[in-house]
């Protein structure tokens, strides 16, 4: 068995063959079966398998793109629960982007932010207020609601609004030590929620605890985006963009500075890294992803109210990051997907199943134990288990490996170039 696996990990052709067979079977069963959550989940799992295949990175990206962009929507489109699958996939995307944002703050810069959902709320309310007549209550000019086309601009505005809040919170807070930061951000998250909950007087801005309903759906080329399968592509695009940006950032100068600050603040400072500025960028960039997804969330739900932005939500995103592996981009994506699917599909399915069992009288399970209500228990247990036994997460972060010889050649070349340039100038 062991020899088989090792030979398989060597043989690229066999891997590709097996993988395509797997993808074909799962997508075919998703296509043919009336209602098969299992096939849907297995098809999503193929992305994880793809990650471990012995292939060139470019090919992995292309295959992953085809599976998620074409195969999944097409094969799911036949069943009656097409929209609910797409809904789950869209929410997975939203949480992936948010978790990637939090990963910058917690995983790369090592700042525990427990009020992350506040930035999500800022983004959601930014779009929610201006895409409903709500804005007419306090804006002196313009006519509201804005048209659905403004959604695309609001993606950026939500980004900036959240980043602004991140900086506003960060300036006073980042001067305090690490563990205070956690509790202050937690307090900030609560403040934002309470403020949004009460901003219906003296001027009605957020409509208080009633929430803002019937938000204008976004439109593109005159088509209104109303259904999850349309949003799926919007979110898919944003997630691809987010992954690209996060990977670029991680290996940039500021990314290395974040990691240095995470490992040892004093040493980082001694190497000339400006502490407050570096932390502020982490805060602002992490927040901006969250704000952007807030806009998408508001547009998708067409309804926002303060109860969507509780501490439980912040902790859920933290669980995603910790479960996947702090600082590891593929890990965080996996973590976000696992937690979201657990929340939306597995727990509800389990509850339905248990209800059926109770109804048919096989076993009596008290209402209080229904898995949907056990979120806190499950997340708490996951947090403890992973912190104690696998604090590096499911897919631990890896530092990029450099070939010393290559690097040497490169620097020599560039120094020669530099020298010759100087000579020419002289």
Nearer to another protein, 83 or 197 (CB): 197
By CB under 8 A, tell whether 210 contacts another protein.
no
Nearest distance from residue 257's CB to another protein, in Å?
18
- Whole-number Å distance between alpha carbons of 77 and 91: 18
By CB under 8 A, tell whether 184 contacts another protein.
yes
329 CB-near residues (< 8 Å, 6+ apart): 100, 103, 243, 246, 247, 250
Are 122 and 158 spatial neighbours (Cβ–Cβ below 8 Å)?
Answer: yes
Nearer to another protein, 137 or 143 (CB): 137
- Whole-number Å distance between alpha carbons of 124 and 93: 16
By CB under 8 A, tell whether 4 contacts another protein.
no
By CB under 8 A, tell whether 106 contacts another protein.
yes
Torsion of CA 237, 74, 303, 41, to 10 degrees: -90
Please provide residue 212's backbone torsions phi and psi, each rounded to the nearest 5 degrees. Answer: -105, 125
Nearest distance from residue 263's CB to another protein, in Å?
10
Nearer to another protein, 39 or 192 (CB): 192
Nearest distance from residue 366's CB to another protein, in Å?
5
**Which residues from 361-390 bind another protein, rule CB under 8 A?**
366-369, 373-377, 379-384, 387-388
**Which residues from 231-270 bind another protein, rule CB under 8 A?**
266
List 25, 32, 38, 194, residue binding another protein (CB under 8 A): 194
The residue count of the chain comes to 426
- Whole-number Å distance between alpha carbons of 318 and 315: 5
Nearer to another protein, 198 or 409 (CB): 198
**Which residues from 274-303 bind another protein, rule CB under 8 A?**
none
- Whole-number Å distance between alpha carbons of 120 and 99: 11
Distance set, CA 225 to CA 215, 230, 231 (Å): 12, 6, 7
Q: What is residue 134's three-state secondary structure?
A: helix
Residue 202: asked if its preceding bond is cis (omega within 30°), the reply is yes
By CB under 8 A, tell whether 176 contacts another protein.
yes
Quote the tokens at residue 200.
């219906």
Nearest distance from residue 182's CB to another protein, in Å?
6
List 38, 52, 187, 352, residue binding another protein (CB under 8 A): 187
Integer Rg of the chain from CA: 24
By CB under 8 A, tell whether 138 contacts another protein.
no
Nearest distance from residue 101's CB to another protein, in Å?
17
Mask for 145-174, x = binds another protein (CB under 8 A): ---------------------------xx-
Q: Which residue has the tokens 């340039």?
A: 421
Element (H, E) at 223: strand 223-224
Nearer to another protein, 376 or 410 (CB): 376
- Whole-number Å distance between alpha carbons of 289 and 108: 15
By CB under 8 A, tell whether 180 contacts another protein.
yes
Residues that bind another protein (CB under 8 A): 106, 110, 112, 114, 172-173, 175-180, 182-184, 186-188, 190-191, 194-195, 197-198, 201-202, 266, 311, 315, 318, 322, 366-369, 373-377, 379-384, 387-388, 391
């Amino acid at each position: 068995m062991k020899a088989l696996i090792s030979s398989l990990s060597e043989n690229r052709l066999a891997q590709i063959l097996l993988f395509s067979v797997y993808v074909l079977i799962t997508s075919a069963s998703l296509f043919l079966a009336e209602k098969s959550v299992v096939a849907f989940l297995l098809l999503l799992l193929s992305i994880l398998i793809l990650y471990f295949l012995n292939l060139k990175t470019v090919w992995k990206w292309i295959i992953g793109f085809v599976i998620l962009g074409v195969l999944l929507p097409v094969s799911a489109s036949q069943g009656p629960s097409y929209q609910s699958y797409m809904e789950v996939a869209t929410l997975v995307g939203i949480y992936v982007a948010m978790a990637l944002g939090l990963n910058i703050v917690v995983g790369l810069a090592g700042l525990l932010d427990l009020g992350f959902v506040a930035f999500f709320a800022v983004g959601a309310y930014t779009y929610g207020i201006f895409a409903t007549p709500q804005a007419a209550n306090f804006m002196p000019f313009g006519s509201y609601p804005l048209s659905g086309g403004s959604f695309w601009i609001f993606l950026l505005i939500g980004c900036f609004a959240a980043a602004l809040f991140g900086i506003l919170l960060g300036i006073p807070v980042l001067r305090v030590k690490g563990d205070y930061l956690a509790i202050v951000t937690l307090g900030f998250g609560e403040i934002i929620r309470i403020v949004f909950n009460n901003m219906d007087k003296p001027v009605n801005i957020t409509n208080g605890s009633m929430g803002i309903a019937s938000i204008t759906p976004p439109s593109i080329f005159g088509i209104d985006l109303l259904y999850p399968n349309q949003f799926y592509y919007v979110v898919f695009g944003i997630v691809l963009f987010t992954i690209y940006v996060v990977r670029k950032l991680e290996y940039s100068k500021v990314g290395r500075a974040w990691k240095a600050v995470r490992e040892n603040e004093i040493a980082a400072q001694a190497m000339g890294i400006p502490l407050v500025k570096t932390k502020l960028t982490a805060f602002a960039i992490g927040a901006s992803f969250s704000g952007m997804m807030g806009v998408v969330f508001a547009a998708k739900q067409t309804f926002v109210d303060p109860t969507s932005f509780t501490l439980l939500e912040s902790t859920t995103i933290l669980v995603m990051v910790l479960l996947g592996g702090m600082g590891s981009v593929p890990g965080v994506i996996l973590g976000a997907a696992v937690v979201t699917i657990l929340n939306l599909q597995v727990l509800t399915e389990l509850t339905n199943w248990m209800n059926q069992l109770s109804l048919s009288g096989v076993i009596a399970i008290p209402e209080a134990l229904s898995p949907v209500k056990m979120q806190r228990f499950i997340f708490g247990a996951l947090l403890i288990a992973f912190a104690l036994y696998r604090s590096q997460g499911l897919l631990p972060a890896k530092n990029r490996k450099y070939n010393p010889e290559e690097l040497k050649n490169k620097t020599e070349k560039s120094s020669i170039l530099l020298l010759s340039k100087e000579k020419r100038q002289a």
